[in-house]
Chain A
Amino acid sequence: EVQLVESGGDLVQPGESLRLSCAASGFTFGLHWMSWVRQAPGKGLEWVANINQDGSETHYVDSVKGRFIISRDNAKNTLYLQMDSLRAEDTAVFYCSRLRSFDFWGRGTKVSVSA
């Protein structure tokens, strides 16, 4: 059974950093592109970042370029999102999923950025 479990969300102040994790199981993690998607309170879904199988290629939505870094550890079956210089508008629930299918989603991890 495919499982994706996000963690690492917290309440932080503007300008601070967080590192999110997504633990994957039930499939061969290293064979898949992976993505982060977020959902601000009461808003729709927004794609955040992608990473290829070996971590050599990444893509980001413009609003997080230069502040967020997506990475992965295939030996640990884990996807990461390092988020620096957080802003109030980054407040959201963050989900990880498999690109391009987006067939499975975890419960998400909540990030709140507020003074």
Chain B
Amino acid sequence: VVLTQSPLSLPVTLGQPASISCRSSQSLVYTDGNTYLNWFQQRPGQSPRRLIYKISNRDSGVPDRFSGSGSGTDFTLKISRVEAEDVGIYYCMQATHWPPITFGQGTRLEIK
């Protein structure tokens, strides 16, 4: 399964919204009905951190300005109002069809 993220670079003004797309080469719906599509944030110099699991479930401690949506093959991560601490690289990942587990190429979010 190939995951294609867009854009790969995302300059955003503080306080403005941001959106990242992740498209899969095949449906990510598993036989149990779940869709194992996660989103991760990697701040500069840090380990990845999961933000969203199974399309739209926000992890504990993740600000509610982050939201995930989508179905089947098209998924989106949205940030309602970008803050300085949101700078980093965002990855989508699928764990529906494995091996292999696959990640998107990453989207670099920067402040304009």
Contacts and interface: CB of A to CB of B under 8 A. Distances in A.
Contacts of B89: 44
Interface stretch (A20-28, A74-82, A105-113): A105-113
Interface of B: 36, 38, 40, 47-50, 53, 59, 89, 91, 93, 95, 98-106
B99 A102 contact: no
A45 B48 contact: yes
Interface string A65-96: 00000000000000000000000000000010
A-B pairs, 5 with minimum CB distance: A47-B101, A59-B99, A100-B95, A45-B103, A105-B47
Contacts, number: 58
A23 B93 CA distance: 24
Nearest to A58: B99
A35 interface: yes
A61 B99 contact: yes
* A contact patch SS: loop
B47 A108 contact: yes
Given A60-B99, A107-B47, A108-B47, A102 B40 contact: yes
Given A100-B95, A102-B95, A103-B59, A47 B53 contact: no
Contacts of A108: 47
A11 interface: no
Q: How large is the interface on A (under 10, 10 to 19, 20 to 34, 35 or more residues)?
A: 20 to 34
A54 interface: no
A102 B38 contact: yes
A7 to B, nearest CB: 14
B80 to A, nearest CB: 23
Nearest to B36: A100
Among B38, B91, B98, the most chain A Cβ lie within 10 Å of the Cβ of B98
